[in-house]
Structure 1
């Protein structure tokens, strides 16, 4: 007991304040011995400067004044890559930004192998985005983003593997191009749509002409087929706004009328002699 009293100044010995001070010091020292680590965290412990390893989750017991800890989160981090000005392979100036999703899978390497893994990952993401976008053409940036995303992700994942980081995904958010180039692309898209519409219309007319030719050949082989088709078109013609309707007579109807006229003229029947008119004698 005398040895314990010797740790405190004489003015605190035998005093209630001295006992309170000693209890407070013990509680503070004991509080430094334990740390609660959440499920998504790890504690990287250094003892006298030497790496002990990652601890957690749960309750972690530490040695006061000897252990130094660094808390590392294992959750996915969303890194917003600032807009980068790049020149594409076809010499077009544009701006590109992206977002990178990564997480720490090895806390020891994330603390020991790199000074600040967050800043290092951010800088590497910017340079990789500029490099990949500069090697691609503008059409690839606009239409093949998935391919470029996978390429950037692969490069970042391989580069950050020694740091204990896993790059989960990379997404190019926006590609900004000059206003004049936007108008040119719009005109090109409009011309492409008109070309496709003209091709579709020509193909439709070709198919319709082929169908009409097939129908005409079929109607030509059937007696009275064209006449029946003409009769079916009369209601359609009469439904128009015009007051005058020009109705062509088919050859079958003309032949039928001539036969009716011949049957009503007995003089023109076979075996009858044609009488000469007075005008013929005068000639």
Structure 2
């Protein structure tokens, strides 16, 4: 009798555990890929799921957006500059069946694919493009990733390049290049100013040349302007026209 009760208790325990293994609860953002005798049966969820123990197995799939931090990659740009680049990828599972059946581990596969795609796409561009046109590069990387992960039932929503790290020598070279560019612009601006000043001086000379005494008046005005500085000695030529007029007046007097 004692043995019968023990056997009944064990049987009851096994039955309870068997019934408990039949029920699964999936959250709103989860789906269950159910296999029956090893073959794909259907995608179920969310809510209460009933499985036949020993015949059906279920794999949970999270449908929320996953943020993947791509590790720092060594990239050689098109102009042979070595840089370190890291990025972040946002993706989510659209088809749980493909995500489980078509690839062994879709998260690891997406991570490795993001690393290789980052190196491949950035290697086709020059350093200036990496620093100035990140939005276009982000779109290119996202497009390539999305096309390759579509067979896995994964949608890549966005890709963002976070950092582009340069060596100290390259930073100094870029600083020298920027300084040279500023000097070039300063020289061009100065030359344009000289050109505009020469044009205005030519126009002023043409206007002063229309009257005989205008040039002399301008000359005397300039002498009056520089005569206020008493700390310097000014040596200037005497116009012949002015001396000639004085000699003529002396003869008449």
Structure 2, gaps ≥5 residues long: none
- Among candidates 5, 16, 19, match of residue 10 of structure 1: 5
- Work out whether 1:74 is the aligned partner of 2:63: yes
Higher Cα Rg, which structure: 1
Contact preservation (8 Å) 2:63, 2:94: yes
Structure 1, gaps ≥5 residues long: 1-7, 266-283
Contact preservation (8 Å) 1:37, 1:60: no
**Relative contact order, CA 8 A, sep 6+: which one is greater?**
2
Q: Tell me the equivalent position of 2:41.
A: 52
- Among candidates 19, 43, 47, match of residue 29 of structure 1: 19
The separation in 1 between residues aligned to 2:123 and 2:132, in whole angstroms, is 15
Return the TM-score normalized by structure 1. 0.69
The separation in 2 between residues aligned to 1:83 and 1:130, in whole angstroms, is 10
Q: Which digits, 9 at most, give the CA deviation of each residue in 1:115-170, with x for residues without a partner? A: 11000001111122222333434444344434433332222111111001111222
Change (3 A) 1:219 1:110: same
How do residues 193-204 of structure 1 correspond to structure 2 at under 5 angstroms?
193-204=182-193
Secondary structure, counterpart of 2:32 in structure 1: strand
Contact preservation (8 Å) 2:26, 2:49: no
> How many residue pairs align between the two structures?
249
Q: Tell me the equivalent position of 1:207.
A: 196
Q: Tell me the equivalent position of 1:191.
A: 180
CA RMSD of aligned residues (A): 3.8
- Work out whether 1:122 is the aligned partner of 2:111: yes
Change (3 A) 1:26 1:238: farther
Q: Tell me the equivalent position of 1:153.
A: 142
How do residues 166-245 of structure 1 correspond to structure 2 at under 5 angstroms?
166-221=155-210, 225-226=214-215, 237=226, 240=229, 242=231
Return the TM-score normalized by structure 2. 0.76
The separation in 1 between residues aligned to 2:101 and 2:15, in whole angstroms, is 33
- Work out whether 1:136 is the aligned partner of 2:125: yes
Contact preservation (8 Å) 1:224, 1:252: no
Secondary structure, counterpart of 1:221 in structure 2: coil
Q: Which digits, 9 at most, give the CA deviation of each residue in 1:216-256, with x for residues without a partner? A: 21233257544665677688546657476779888998788
